[in-house]
């Protein structure tokens, strides 16, 4: 028997991609790629937009990718008529420099509670070498009627 999905309904990947247009996500080239029953995956280029002056991926860009993944994932784990999610805390351990290509982030929940969610985000190179490990805590707040339009 397969794993039950964590998503509240279907994850609207195309809708989330559209909502990223004209935002920091588009500026940094972050692309949402796929979802599974318990994960969300995206990629980000390592180029002039995301490198630090030393010529490697900026740690802040990795944090943006991690928070993007956790925020979208958290948003689609709750009933939008009742709740919405906001970032509460993020930490990141940067493990390896990357000078070019793409990095791929995958977010998976460690805890999906009534008031908080905890997400593990792993960022790796195209060949699977771990670049950054991040943990993102999301607060689950009550939504006024019609608060968040998906």
Half-sphere exposure of 90 (CA within 13 A, CB side): 21
- As a whole number of Å, the CA-based R_g of the chain is 15
Question: Could you tell me which of 39, 65, 55, 75 has the C-alpha nearest to residue 123?
Answer: 65
Residues catalogued as catalytic: 67
CA–CA dist 112, 51 (Å, integer): 33
DSSP 30-62: -EEEEEETTEEEEEEEESTTTB-TTSSB-HHHH
Give me the phi and psi of 92, to 5 degrees please: -150, 140
Question: Could you tell me which of 18, 21, 120, 140 has the C-alpha nearest to residue 80?
Answer: 140
């Amino acid at each position: 028997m397969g794993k039950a999905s964590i998503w509240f309904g279907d994850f609207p990947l195309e809708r989330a991609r559209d909502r990223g247009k004209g935002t920091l996500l588009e500026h940094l080239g972050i692309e949402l790629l796929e979802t599974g029953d318990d994960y969300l995956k995206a990629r980000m280029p390592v180029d002039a937009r995301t490198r630090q002056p030393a010529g490697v991926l900026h740690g802040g860009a990795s944090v943006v990718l991690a928070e993007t993944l956790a925020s979208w994932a958290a948003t689609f784990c709750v009933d939008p008529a009742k709740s919405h999610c906001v970032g509460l805390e993020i930490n990141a351990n940067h493990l390896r420099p990357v000078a070019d290509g793409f990095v791929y982030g995958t977010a998976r929940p460690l805890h999906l509670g009534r008031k908080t969610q905890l997400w593990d985000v792993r960022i790796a190179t195209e060949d699977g070498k771990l670049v950054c490990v991040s943990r993102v805590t999301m607060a689950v707040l009550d939504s006024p009627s019609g608060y968040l339009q998906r």
